[in-house]
Amino acid sequence: MGVSARKHDVFQAIADPTRREVLRLLAEKERPISEISAHFPISRTAISKHLHILSEAELVKGKKAGRERIYHLQPEPLTELKQWLSYYEQFWNNKLQKLKYIVEEENE
């Protein structure tokens, strides 16, 4: 029942462009749902669902304040993504080295 038991993980959460844009907005500053949804052509309800998915992935958190719910970014789960990525960096680093090597050969 650890982190992996969540219904929506980080990889799924960031797969949707609308959710990535929501994260970008919340990176600027915390905002209530209605302010967030004002940036999109879709309904407030749809945005609310996206926020639920981001919440499950723990990428955002909402605090109730009066009749509003203010969401803020929680970037920590992105470290999982970073770790995943770091495994693959060795490969593109190798490619760049090969490319550099070829260029150097051609200049001689």
Partner DNA sequence: TTGACATGAAACCAAAAGGTTTTATATGAT
Partner DNA sequence: ATCATATAAAACCTTTTGGTTTCATGTCAA
Interface region with its own copies, contact rule CB under 8 A, candidates 29-37, 39-47, 75-83, 97-105: 75-83
Asked if 70 contacts 60 with a C-beta cutoff of 8 angstroms, the reply is no
Query: For residue 105, which amino acid is it?
Result: E
**According to CB under 8 A, which one of 34, 45, 76, 97 is a site residue for its own copies?**
76
> Angle at Cα 38 formed by Cα 34 and Cα 39, nearest 5°?
130
Q: Which is nearer to DNA, 6 or 80 (CB)?
A: 6
Q: Which of 24, 45, 44, 49 is nearest to 34 (CA)?
A: 44
Any idea what DSSP says for residue 60? E
Residues found near DNA in the complex (CB under 7 A): 8, 12, 15-16, 18, 32-34, 41-46, 48-51, 53, 62, 64, 66-69
Taking alpha carbons only, the member of 80, 85, 88, 86 closest to residue 10 is: 80
Residues 6-45 that bind its own copies (CB under 8 A): 11-12, 14-15, 17, 20, 23, 27
* Interacting residues with its own copies (CB under 8 A): 11-12, 14-15, 17, 20, 23, 27, 73, 75-76, 78-79, 81-82, 84-85, 87-89, 91-92, 95
